Amino acid sequence: MFKNKIYIIFILVFALVFPIGYFTGLIPINTLTLWGRYFCLAIAALGVDLIWGYTGILSMTQALFFCMGAYGMGMYMTLSNLPEGQLLPSFMVWNQVEELPFFWVPFDNFSYALVLSVLVPGVFAGIMGYFIFRKRIKGVYFAIITQAIALAMFLLFSRNETMLGGTNGLTDFKYFLGFDLRDNSVKFGLYAWSLIALGLVYWYCHNLVNSKFGKSLVAIRDSESRMRFTKYKVTHYNVAIFVIGAMVAAVGGMLYMPQTGIITPGRMDVQASIEMIIWVALGGRGKLKGAVIGALVLNLMYSVFTTVLPSSWLYILGGLFVITVLYLPKGIVGMVDQMKEKLNGMFVKTA
C-alpha cells in the first residue's frame, strides 16, 4: 500500500516536516492543533466512504455517530474536571439535579468511557440499521429516514432534560488525563495521536475493503439483487458495515473532543453529515485516500474562506459539489488517475 507516492508525501509532510517546523519555531502550535482536528474529521470521512463509497448506502447520520463519540469523551472530561468537592457538573446544578444520572456514572472511569464512546454508537447503529435494512429500504428513502433520525437526535440532545448540556453542550475543560490542555506539549501530543489514529484506521479500512467481506460490499453496491439471488445475506452485510462506519466515526469524535474543548448538538445536525458526504464525493468516492484528501482539503478551505469571506462558504461548498457531480464524478483522485493514464498513453505512443 505504501508504494504509492501519495503515502510517502503524506508521511513526510505531517509526520516529519510539521513536527520539525514546530520544534524549530517555524510552525505555530495552533496550526498543528488545527490539522489534528482535520485528521479526526478525515477518520469520520473514512467511515462515510465505507458505507457510501463501497456499499452504496447514502447515510445522513455519520455526523451523529461522530458526535456520540465526542460526547462520550466529553462526559469523562466533564467529570474529571470538576472542582474539588463538587459532585455534579454546573449545568446539572443549575437544573436542580441532586444526583448524577445513572448513564453518566460509567464515564467517571477513562477505560469505561473509552469503550462506551465507541460501543454506544455501534449498538445504536446496529439497532437502527437492522430495522431499516430488514425492510430493504435503500436509496433516497434510506437517506430521508437517516436524515429524520439525525434531526430527532439533534433535538433530543438540545433539550436540557437530557442532561447533556442542552444547546451549550459540554465545554470548559482544562485537563485531560491529568495533563493541562493549554500546554503546548499536550497539544502536540494530541496532534501526534490523531495522526497515528488516522493511519491505523486507514490501514484497517484498507485491509477491510480488500478482504472477501469488502469485495462482497462492492458487489452489493453494484448489484444487490444478484447478491440476494446467490444466497448472500445482504442485510447482515449492510448492518455490519453500518456499525463499522459508525464506530470509525466515533473514534474520530473521541480524538476531536480534547482538541476543540467543546461539543454541541450543532455538530450532529443534517448539514454536518451532508458536508461529510461532500468531502468523500470531492476526494473520490470508493477510494479511501480520496476520503482523506477530500476531508483535509475542504476543511482547510473552510478555515481559509470563513476567515476571508465568512458569509460565502456555503455558496462555495455548493459550487464545489455541483462541479464535482458534473465534471469530476470520480473526484480528485479519479482526476489524477485519468491524468496519469493520459500521460502514460502519450509516452507509449512516443516510444
Query: 351: which DSSP letter?
Result: -
In this structure, are residues 156 and 162 in contact, taking their beta carbons and an 8 Å threshold? yes
In angstroms, the Cα distances linking 327 to 161, 206, 278, 322, 334 are 48, 27, 14, 8, 11
In the chain, what is the straight-line distance between the N-terminal and C-terminal CA atoms, in Å? Answer: 29
- Structure confidence at residue 172 (pLDDT): 84
pLDDT tens digits, residue range 291-339? Answer: 999 999 999 999 888 888 878 888 888 888 888 878 877 888 878 777 7
- Structure confidence at residue 346 (pLDDT): 64
In this structure, are residues 298 and 279 in contact, taking their beta carbons and an 8 Å threshold? yes
- Structure confidence at residue 260 (pLDDT): 92
pTM for the structure as a whole: 0.92
- Structure confidence at residue 347 (pLDDT): 57
Residue with grid cell 444487490, as numbered in its chain = 224
Residue 229 burial by CB count (10 A; 0-12/13-18/19+): exposed, middle or buried?
exposed
- Residue 207 CA, chain-centre distance (Å), reads 19
- Structure confidence at residue 221 (pLDDT): 92
Instruction: List, for the chain, all residue ranges whose pLDDT scores fall below the cut of 50.
Output: 1-3
SS3 86: coil
In this structure, are residues 101 and 283 in contact, taking their beta carbons and an 8 Å threshold? no
Q: How many CB atoms lie within 10 A of CB 189?
A: 15
How far apart CA 351 and CA 199 sit, in angstroms, is 39
